[in-house]
Structure 1
Amino acid sequence: MSIQPDYAAASAGAASAASAAAEARSAVRLTRNITATWWYMAVAIVVFELMLVVVSVETLVRSGVGTAEVAAVGVGGLLWWLATLVPLADYRRRTDAAPLLVWRRHGPALLIGLAYGLAAGLVTDLWVLGALPVIQAAMLLNWPPGVRFRVVLAATALLVALSLIDSAVVLEETGGAGWAQLVFLAATLPAVTVSSLWWWDVLVALDRARASEARLAATQERLRVATDVHDLQGHHLQVIALQLELSERLMPHDPEAGLEQLRAARVSVDAARQGTRDLATRFRSVPLPDELANAVDLLRAAGTDAAATVDPDAASAPASALGPVIRETTTNVLRHGGGRRAHLSLTRADGVWRYEISNDVAATATAVAGDGGGAGLDGIARRAAEAGGRLDVRRWDETFTVVVTVPADTESDAVPAPADDAG
């Protein structure tokens, strides 16, 4: 006997359950962003239901109904009110894939609503109050959007018809204003409930669309980064491969030409590395005050007595030009300085931004990061030149200073500093 169909069915069922669970978890994450709106909506429904119970008890007391009947309506109303809280709370995490009725969650509200409706209807002789509790419990089921609207129209029409009957019979006999208020609340409660739930569904849909748009934007950004990396590395690697192949062919016959191609390949490697650095910098820019604070923290962690002077408007400086310079010079101090003190400053004066870093240099340290073939000061000079500025390097006794100036009117992609939270 083959068990493959059963296995396939079980697998499909498990996959469906897992998908439903994942959707439920996603719904919970989304609704956390609009928690305040949920509580406004839920409290409005709860208060409306509780008001109906209170008005029912008050109306019976004013009408001279016996204490036992009033107590039965009051206690039953509170039980019905409490029972509706469970399906109402579940509605916050509802998904379109969930079943219409979950007996474990909706069953008590329906049964208590039915019992309370019978008791209240017999005591008050109001048809509308007898039908309302079970109708209200039914409104909290997981109806599909279009079906829920038709159900509430039918329920409201039924309650209005029962209200007219009650008005013609009971209210005409009693003539009490309290009865009219009770009938009005009972007839409008389902419509108020469904309109509140509909508003919540709209907000959840909007929040889900916002989250989807954010994920799409992040995906597009990742694709853009991947494309840039592919284009950059693909070009350089292709050039390097050709240069190495040419060097391999030339080496047996013309060693000097072969070595020249190897040197060209090394230059291409440096270009690819620098291009990758530039690409990474575009996607990890932070406000320049934060860059300086991070640099000071890093130097202090390495045992250097570091401090910084930052202009109040430093966040408006060109981050694309100065951000990599701050990181590069900080790295240079760590690698080549070997001293005990360092001071960083970023100030604006005479139409230029001036970044300066000074540190004391140990006697055996290599001060210039460009020695040994690294990017070092050559890369910093190139960045400054691209921004229309310049690089100055000074060494006096045991103090090594790097100064980079760029025009203040340079078109800047400065990263705004994050605003402080108000609360």
Structure 2
Amino acid sequence: MGERAVDPDGLSARNATRLRTSRRITAWSMYPLALIQICWTGVDATYLADAGLPLWMAAVSSAAALGSGVLLLLMIRGRIDGRRAADGRLVVWSLALSLLAFAMVQNLLNSVLVLAAWWGVVANATPSRTSRNLGLAVAALSWLKALTLPLALGMSPFAFTFAWSVGIGFALLLRVLFASTFWLWDITNDAIRGQAARARLAVSEERLRFARDMHDLLGHSLSALAVKAELASRLATRAPERAKSEMSEVQDLARSALQQVRGAVNGYRDVDLAGEVASVSGVLEANGTRTTVTGLDGLDLPPNTAALAAWVVREGGTNVLRHSEADRCAVTFTRLPGRTARRSTLVVEVFNDRARGAGDRAASSGNGLAGLSERVSMGGGTLSAARTKDGGFLLRAVLPLQGDAGARTRSSSAPGDHEESR
């Protein structure tokens, strides 16, 4: 039988070749067993000649066994291609042809082996209940033929039991052989495709990571550029020197953003906490938002925690610029000791006093907080973002102070005094 090309589904050329080779080996190791019915019908021609019966019966039984074998091959190939249950038409027609061969074969052992070979294949391509019922029907037909077959009427009870037991054993042997081969094929197929799936997942995660980094980097930088440029345009006629100074800062911000993008492209994603706090404070002050920083002086943090805290400050400052009309912004760092050093945490809060209404909030994409939540969760911390009762907005991150903190929890909303998540 010809081999059908395997759909690579994104597999590399090497893995696709390995999968096709495994498929061919699996298929061709089972194809001969599916045609074994022809052997028993061919052997039966000897018994027909010795008994003086017409040889056309052997020809009919061989032709029927060949047709049944071809249908069994189709079932095997369908099972290898992933169809757990064979087409009902293949089962019915193969059974009809096998029964015809069974009826034409005049030797009891050979006739039992014809049906045993058929059941050994079909049992692996049908549901277990159907397989069991077909097995019982085949066994019953074997007994019925033994009671009516002229060549079997004179058999001793021992010979009769032996012939029937050999048929049952042969059917079970084929059942186990085919089940084991299919099982090995499924393991090989899953392993190769799983390897490709893991590779694709790694690529997707890296793309998401890069997209998140670009958003976090450029979101803040572009917002700061917009604020500075707007301020410079307002000062162009009233205070040219001040406008010139602001445009100089715009240039510096643009260069800094370019360096950050290049760093992200090269895989250097960490940001400096003190530098980030200073940058955010400067931009907010230029926008008219008075900014206070508490708890940063003398704070000694592990590199991973410091990097996460810097991302929280960056995203918090970006949200103040985009989604508030704040007069005041407070950035607070609080170290909370635990019973052990591993349980110590750092709480980073960015609060502004005048969050905008629901309409402005709905217009924003929300990707920044979603990306930050993923980043904090991957670092073992939690993130909450919610309005406060006094009309402000609070972004709070609880970060582990150990770089190897094992817990990876999902971000959750702040309880109690917060009314809605941003």
TM-score of Structure 1 vs Structure 2, range by shorter chain = 0.3 to 0.5
Q: Which has the higher helix share?
A: 1
TM-score of the aligned structures, taking structure 2 as reference length:
0.47
